[in-house]
């Protein structure tokens, strides 16, 4: 998110009148150029202009919260509402709240003490004029308005009226096109200091003080680094924080800014590589996604600069960045996210009807299968209550480990070919999801398609289990026979379970026929229906791994534990990526690991219906 600062300009009488209601007219933004540092072009200075043409300003987040010095760790003190475009300006009404701090600010504004505001915004579309060193934001979105101390654009601010803006425009003296070198140098110093302070999130006041005191740029860098050290020492730390690169959320109060930078960098790399990101980080668009730019930023965050290490694009820069905390984490995070994207995008029919649960380790997992409660016995007058017992059985299985090593060469990093490397990694995530499905559906083929041997020594689908229908045509009558078998299943110790069929699992060859059955069940016709309506409530699961000899009805796993997919806790959201050190070769290596196992726990929740 970027910011720009404006000043307050209000007559004394108007300020006093507005103070009692704590409502002030405000000019939020204008098309006044503001100097920025363009990191995509190697840190060059340029003028940024916010367009106020029709359709340029996205007001979807209005009303805007009012903060102090862009401090998002504290609750807002007011809002800016009734936003509207007025020529080349964005205007609204600043309303301060009932808190003591809001009342203090209202009084300071009324007394003319507080004279600056700043708008925070993001840019989604822009045009560049390289010759004029100007970038025009043709589509941008304001996120918040902050009350600050030092204004940079006196043409807009709190209590600015249209007449005042016109007066400012007519009384501004013409400028000479020839700018003295010392003025340009001072502008560059101020711009660089403000850019460094903004990236370090030390507040606009901190940067303004450095500029006012005339602190040289190198000394300013040292003071900024000292301030970061003090802030880190005062902030609470969590020594066991684990980064989850599967989700990328915008910055929130209390966020670790180091992790926030890494999240934005990971999203930037993924977008540059052509990998879809559902909710990209708000700061991702401000990063180029280039390996070299991210290396320079990682060094800069530790108080270093890439220019000290020879070429701005070269092996030495990458080598130096590898020893920072950020750069290796960004590479690993991007790899993890690309693998995860493949895992989540791969079709997985088994996840619809199989329960996925975390397991703590590789030891055999024991799953008790409780029977029904004992039936109640009649008790006569003064009679004695007899004991009743639950019956149970035990099913067990173990998880297995699957994995691969992936590596990117030193030459690929130096050539900035990380994008090509990331684009092939989703295949590893897809392979992990396919391995799960292979394991689950391979169970159906065991014992000549009778399924795995259960804890009672009998195959899963067997007449003794009352879950094997007679072979017949695939129609509503066959489904009805399967439903009856499911309904009549009894718990251990007796008692009907009254299971309801929820899933219709079919091989791909039967997909069209199944769709016709479900569609006929949903139609409302005047003539007598041949397909009962209960079939319409089934969820169709199509699986090409199944043989074209049978279809299956399965109950919801919340009704009964039928099949279970156990995953090591670290693999619940997909494969885990770990870095592997390789000293003998100039490569960066990662290990992709996925640990899981599958087991049919109970035969009562699934029925096999052979079809002709």
| Nearest residue to 192 (alpha-carbon basis) of 401, 24, 37 | 37
* CA neighbours closer than 13 Å in the CB half-sphere of residue 375: 8
E strands along 419-535, which residues? 501-507
H/E element holding 25? strand 23-30
pLDDT given at position 441: 97
Most distant CA atoms of the chain, gap in Å: 112
Q: Among 326-330, 391-395, 410-414, which range has the highest average pLDDT? A: 326-330
For 87, residues 6+ apart whose C-beta sits below 8 A from its C-beta are: 52
Of the pLDDT bands very low, low, confident and very high (cuts 50, 70, 90), residue 527 is very low
Per-domain boundaries in the chain: 2-167, 183-234, 257-345, 349-374+388-410+444-612
| Rounded Cα–Cα distance for residues 610 and 607 (Å) | 10
Q: In terms of C-beta density within 10 A (0-12 exposed, 13-18 middle, 19 or more buried), how is residue 31 classed?
A: middle
> CA 416 → CA 30, 307, 408, distances in Å?
38, 18, 11
Average pLDDT of every residue of the chain: 79
> CA 29 → CA 4, 6, 270, distances in Å?
8, 8, 33
pLDDT tens-place string over residues 571-580: 998 998 887 7
- DSSP assignment, residue 41? G
Instruction: Characterize the bridge pairing of strands 355-359 and 563-568.
Output: parallel
pLDDT tens-place string over residues 390-409: 556 788 899 999 998 888 77
E strands along 479-605, which residues? 501-507, 539-543, 550-555, 563-568, 576-580, 587-600
pLDDT tens-place string over residues 343-389: 888 888 999 999 999 999 998 988 877 555 566 788 988 888 887 76
Of the pLDDT bands very low, low, confident and very high (cuts 50, 70, 90), residue 255 is very low
DSSP-H helix ranges across 252-325: 257-272, 291-300, 315-321
Of the pLDDT bands very low, low, confident and very high (cuts 50, 70, 90), residue 419 is confident
Please check the confidence at residue 8 and state whether its pLDDT lies above 60.
no
> CA 302 → CA 88, 261, 320, distances in Å?
40, 13, 11
- DSSP assignment, residue 510? G
At residue 143, the 3 state secondary structure works out as strand
What percent of the chain is modeled with pLDDT above 90? 26
* Topology of the domain covering 349-374+388-410+444-612: phage-related protein like fold (3.90.1690)
Residue with the larger pLDDT of the pair 434 and 155? 434
Contact 599, 564 (CB under 8 A): yes
Q: Among 132-141, 368-377, 455-464, which range has the highest average pLDDT? A: 455-464
* CA neighbours closer than 13 Å in the CB half-sphere of residue 456: 15
pLDDT given at position 175: 42
pLDDT tens-place string over residues 380-394: 888 888 877 655 678
What percent of the chain is modeled with pLDDT above 70? 76
Compute the average pLDDT of residues 298-317: 60
pLDDT given at position 6: 54
Residue with the larger pLDDT of the pair 318 and 528? 318
pLDDT tens-place string over residues 95-135: 888 888 888 888 888 777 776 778 888 888 889 888 888 88
CA 157 from centre of chain: 35
Give the angle 558-561-563 at the CA atoms, nearest 5°.
Answer: 115
Please check the confidence at residue 167 and state whether its pLDDT lies above 50.
no
Determine if the pTM surpasses 0.95.
no
pLDDT given at position 257: 55
């Amino acid at each position: 998110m970027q910011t720009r600062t404006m000043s307050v300009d209000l007559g004394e009488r108007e300020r006093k009148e507005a103070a009692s209601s704590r409502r002030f007219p405000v000019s939020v933004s204008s098309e006044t150029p503001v100097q920025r540092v363009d990191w995509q072009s190697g840190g060059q200075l340029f003028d940024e202009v916010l367009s106020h043409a029709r359709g340029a300003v996205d007001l979807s987040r209005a009303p805007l919260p009012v903060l102090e010095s862009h401090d998002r760790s504290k609750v807002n003190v007011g809002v800016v509402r009734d936003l509207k475009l007025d020529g080349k300006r964005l205007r609204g009404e600043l309303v301060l709240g009932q808190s003591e701090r809001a009342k203090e600010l209202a009084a300071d504004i009324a007394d003319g003490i507080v004279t600056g505001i700043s708008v925070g915004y993001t840019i989604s579309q822009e045009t560049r004029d390289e010759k004029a060193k100007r970038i025009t934001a043709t589509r941008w979105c304001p996120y918040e308005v902050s009350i600050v101390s030092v204004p940079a654009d006196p043409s807009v601010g709190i209590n600015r009226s249209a007449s005042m803006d016109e007066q400012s425009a007519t009384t501004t003296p013409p400028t000479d096109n020839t700018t003295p070198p010392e003025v340009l140098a001072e502008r560059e110093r101020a711009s660089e200091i403000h850019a460094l302070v903004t990236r370090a999130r030390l507040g606009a006041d901190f940067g303004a003080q450095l500029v006012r005191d005339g602190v040289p740029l190198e000394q300013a860098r040292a003071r900024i680094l000292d301030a970061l050290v003090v802030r880190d020492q005062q902030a609470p730390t969590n020594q066991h924080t684990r980064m989850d690169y599967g989700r990328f959320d915008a910055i929130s109060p209390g966020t670790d800014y180091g992790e926030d930078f890494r999240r934005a960098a990971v999203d930037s790399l993924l977008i540059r590589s052509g990998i879809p990101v559902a909710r990209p980080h708000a700061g991702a668009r401000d990063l180029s996604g280039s390996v070299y730019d991210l290396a320079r930023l990682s060094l800069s965050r530790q108080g270093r600069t890439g220019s000290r290490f020879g070429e701005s694009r070269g092996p030495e820069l990458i080598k130096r960045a590898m020893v920072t905390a950020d750069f290796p984490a960004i590479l690993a995070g991007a790899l993890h996210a690309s693998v995860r994207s493949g895992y989540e995008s791969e079709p997985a029919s088994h996840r619809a009807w199989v329960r996925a649960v975390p397991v703590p380790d590789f030891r055999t997992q024991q799953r008790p299968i409780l029977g029904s409660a004992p039936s109640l016995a009649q008790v006569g007058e003064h009679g004695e209550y007899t004991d009743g017992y639950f019956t149970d059985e035990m099913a067990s299985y173990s998880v297995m480990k699957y994995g691969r090593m992936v590596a990117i060469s030193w030459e690929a990093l130096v050539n900035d070919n990380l994008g090509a490397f990331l684009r092939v990694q989703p295949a590893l995530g897809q392979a992990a999801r396919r391995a799960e499905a292979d394991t689950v559906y391979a169970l159906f083929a065991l014992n000549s398609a009778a399924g795995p041997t259960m804890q009672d020594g009998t195959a899963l689908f067997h007449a003794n289990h009352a879950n094997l229908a007679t072979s017949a045509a695939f129609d509503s009558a066959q489904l009805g026979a399967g439903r009856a078998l499911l309904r009549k299943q009894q718990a251990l110790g007796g008692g009907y379970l009254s299971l309801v069929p929820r899933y219709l699992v079919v091989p791909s060859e039967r997909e069209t026929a199944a769709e016709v059955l479900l569609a006929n069940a949903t139609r409302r016709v005047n003539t007598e229906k041949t397909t009962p309506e209960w079939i319409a409530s089934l969820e169709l699961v199509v699986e090409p791994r199944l043989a074209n000899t049978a279809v299956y009805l399965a109950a919801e796993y919340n009704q009964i534990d039928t099949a279970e997919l156990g995953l090591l806790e670290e693999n619940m959201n997909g494969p885990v990526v770990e870095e592997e050190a390789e000293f003998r070769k100039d490569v960066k290596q990662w290990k992709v690991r996925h640990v899981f196992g599958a087991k049919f726990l109970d035969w009562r929740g699934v029925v096999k219906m052979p079809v002709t």
